[in-house]
Structure 1
Amino acid sequence: MIDFSHADFLVSAQRFSQCPADSGAEVAFAGRSNAGKSSALNAITGVRSLARTSKTPGRTQLINFFALDDKRRLVDLPGYGYAKVPERVKLEWQRELTLYLQRRQALRGLILLMDIRHPLKEYDCQLLEWCQTSELPVHILLTKADKLSRGAGGGVLQKLRHQLDKKYPGSTVQLFSSLKHQGLEEARERIAAWLA
């Protein structure tokens, strides 16, 4: 079993060419700006200030690598979507993100984060389609699940499961809340299985 609490910042890469050696295994966290990627990383590892969180969408502008041990890593990818950054910078992020997803041999799976109140937006669907084509496993965390009642959250989960089965078979989904520590074990088990 992986001890997630051993997670430690390794390096930030502005460009794909600056990523650490492409060996071992890693799981990447992707999602729209402000979906809660950094908060999820901190909650899953139990290391409170591992990834920097911010109320400002688009704060993660680099590919951030966190080592779990000398062979396994977690990766925080720049958010996509509505970050208030110049178009040129957005396109640059998009290019580096695409390079990482297409060429990174160590990548074993993608944790895709979606705010439970706004699931399956355009970029999410594009990413799911790409992962489907590339046969990269995807596990979706419906973040901020504490913002909805239990019944409403369960309804969103069921509806999304149905949509995934039809369009993106093999993708899995769960409810998640960094704040309430909901769904931590399920997420950890999925990541550990990919990194095994």
Structure 2
Amino acid sequence: MNLNNVSLTVSAVDMKQYPKTNFKEIAFAGRSNVGKSSLINKLLNRKSLARVSSKPGKTATINFYNIDNTMNFVDLPGYGYAKVSKAEKKKWADMIETYLNTREQLCQVILLVDSRHTPTENDITMLRYIRACCERAVVIATKCDKLSASQLNEHLSDIIKTLSLSGDDIIIPFSTVNGTGVEEFYAYIEEVLEIEV
């Protein structure tokens, strides 16, 4: 897979706009401002392919990123942003639910949580969706560079307990600052999803 050959294919608001490709898709879900866009940029070694905003709630579309005509990364709208209207929240929730329930190319949804905080009720709900459509739960704990090693271990234990992760589930500490977790992510892609990187 050539990471030099990546592009934003489409920003979709309904299923008619999804790419007409058969590539395997990995979707990233998480609350607003958890760092999905920054993570995608880091994984693809780009500075600004995925638009990063300091204001949460900015990703209001489902963004499909084509990677070397081999697979798609899919950035789902963030959830849990308090300053968005109920109508807007429902629109985003429906958008996410439609994608999760209808997209045959989807092979894994990855839940992003902030390593510094206990997962929210919204995170727990999203993980239930993930368990319904995927064989295992895969969780990326972002911003781990902001914690000491002992703090990180403590917080990871809290995340594992709160989300009831077990056996086949995977948790990857991740930092866009120092690159922690990038190798582990691609090892998972190769070993579990059998996509050559």
Please confirm whether the aligned pair reaches a TM-score higher than 0.5, indicating the same fold. Answer: yes
Q: Who is 1:173 aligned against? A: 171
Asked if 2 retains the 8 angstrom alpha-carbon contact of 1:7 and 1:47, the reply is no
TM-score scaled by length of structure 1: 0.90
- Structure 2 distance, partners of 1:107, 1:56, is 28
Name stretches of at least 5 consecutive residues in structure 1 with no aligned partner.
none
**What residue is the counterpart of 2:180 in the other structure?**
182
Distance 1:145 1:118 in 2: 11
2:117 maps to what in 1?
Answer: 118
- Residues 180 and 103 (structure 1), Cα distance of their counterparts in 2 relative to 1, 3 Å cut: same
Alignment of 1:123-162 (within 5 A): 123-162=122-161
The separation in 1 between residues aligned to 2:29 and 2:126, in whole angstroms, is: 9
CA distance in 2, matches of 1:76, 1:23: 17
How far apart in 2 are the matches of 1:168 and 1:81?
A: 25
Query: Which residue of structure 1 lines up, in the alignment, with residue 50 of structure 2?
Result: 51
Q: Which has the higher helix share?
A: 1
Tell me the SS of whatever aligns to 1:94: helix
Aligned-residue identity in percent: 36
Aligned to 1:4, the other structure's residue is in SS state coil
How many Å separate the matches in 1 of 2:118 and 2:21? 32
C-alpha deviation, 1:195, in angstroms: 5.8
For 1:42 and 1:98, how far apart are their aligned partners in 2? Answer: 24
Q: Distance in 2 between matches of 1:110 and 1:162?
A: 20
Q: Indicate the SS of the match to 1:81.
A: coil
Judge conservation of contact 2:65–2:72 (CA < 8 Å) in 1: yes
Per-residue deviation, 1:163: 5.0
Cα distance in structure 2, aligned partners of 1:163 and 1:86: 28
Aligned residue in 1 for 2:3:
4
- Measured in 1, the distance between the counterparts of 2:59 and 2:36 equals 9
Count residues with an aligned counterpart. Answer: 194
Q: Deviations over 1:103-141 (max 9, x none)?
A: 100001112110112232111111111222333433111
What do you get for the CA RMSD once the two structures are aligned?
Answer: 1.9
For 1:169 and 1:128, locate their aligned partners in 2 and report how far apart those are by CA, in whole Å. Answer: 15
Distance 1:83 1:7, change over 3 A: farther
Output the amino acid matched with 1:74. Answer: F
- 3-state SS, counterpart of residue 194 of structure 1: coil
Counterpart of 2:59 in structure 1 is 60
